[in-house]
Amino acid sequence: MDLVNEFTINGHKALVYDNAMPPELVEKWLGIKDDLEFRSVKMPTKMGYKDANNYTDQSKTQFGVHPISLKKKFFKHYNFLAPGLTKFDKRASIDHYARSFVNRYVTGNQIQPHMDLNHIDDDCYYCVCLMYVQDNVTDPEDSGFYMGYGDDITYVPNVFNRVIMFDARIVHWPDVPSNTFERLTLYMGYTTQDNEYSLQRDVHALAKDNIPGTTYRMTDVLDRHQT
């Protein structure tokens, strides 16, 4: 991976790497990405973040998700992230995996700015790894990623195989495409904060149409040929 940028956003750390996946993994990913099934998402009505002293209304949230199961799906290991995790926090490790899914956004979808975690204990960390995984990007400035709030907002353009590694307390939201582009991002979370990951947890969650490691529920299967 090639480090291309490093930020401090609202007091929290963020890193940007290009060429995240090695070539052999890129080839395998491109061979399966168009066959993934995405489901609509139902989220909690309210999501709060005390750092910003605000709450966001998620009642109109709309996007697609494909949950990742490390037992059955393509990404059994995310070893390529190890150098970036260590730079993010010397305590961080791929052994601290918590959850993963692919998000899909097209024109008309939305989600309000939010944090993934309101509080992290001093002796813990939570690193969000968000990777752009759609290879046919035509306008990097029309499907990127926002981080921060107030006067401290950073925008990261969409470049295939670029991963953004950031503290889960950073407020963030996607730049939803304004054209027919299908924006795909792979989410990977690593933490020592209340980490309850297990294959059994994932199996039970998926059986109830829940996205493992979240409070989100999956509903209708999406037609990927429609935007």
In this predicted model, what pLDDT tens digit does every residue of 50-96 receive, in sequence order? Answer: 444 444 555 566 788 898 876 555 666 678 999 999 999 999 999 99
- The encoded tokens of residue 150 equal 């107030």
Q: How would DSSP label each residue in 134-184?
A: -S--S-GGGS-EEEEETTEEEEE---TT-EEEEETTS-EEE---SSS--EE
CB of 181 closer than 8 Å to CB of 142: yes
pTM for the full predicted model: 0.90
Has residue 61 been placed in a domain?
A: yes
Residues in the chain: 227
For residue 157, give its domain range: 2-221
Distance CA 222, CA 215 (A): 20
Has residue 118 been placed in a domain?
A: yes
Question: pLDDT value at position 61?
Answer: 65
Has residue 143 been placed in a domain?
A: yes
Has residue 79 been placed in a domain?
A: yes
Has residue 20 been placed in a domain?
A: yes
**Rounded to 5 degrees, what are φ and ψ at 166?**
-145, 155
Q: Is a pLDDT exceeding 90 seen at residue 49?
A: no
Closest residue by Cα to residue 177 from 144, 153, 146: 144
Angle CA 164–83–89, to nearest 5:
75
Question: pLDDT value at position 23?
Answer: 93
Sequence-ordered list of residues with C-beta below 8 angstroms from that of 149, at least 6 positions apart, any chain: 10, 52, 113, 171
**Number of domains composing the chain:** 1
The phi-psi region of residue 191 (left if phi > 0; otherwise alpha if psi is between -120 and 50; otherwise beta) is beta
The CATH number that applies at residue 204 is 2.60.120.620
Has residue 135 been placed in a domain?
A: yes
Has residue 180 been placed in a domain?
A: yes
Has residue 226 been placed in a domain?
A: no
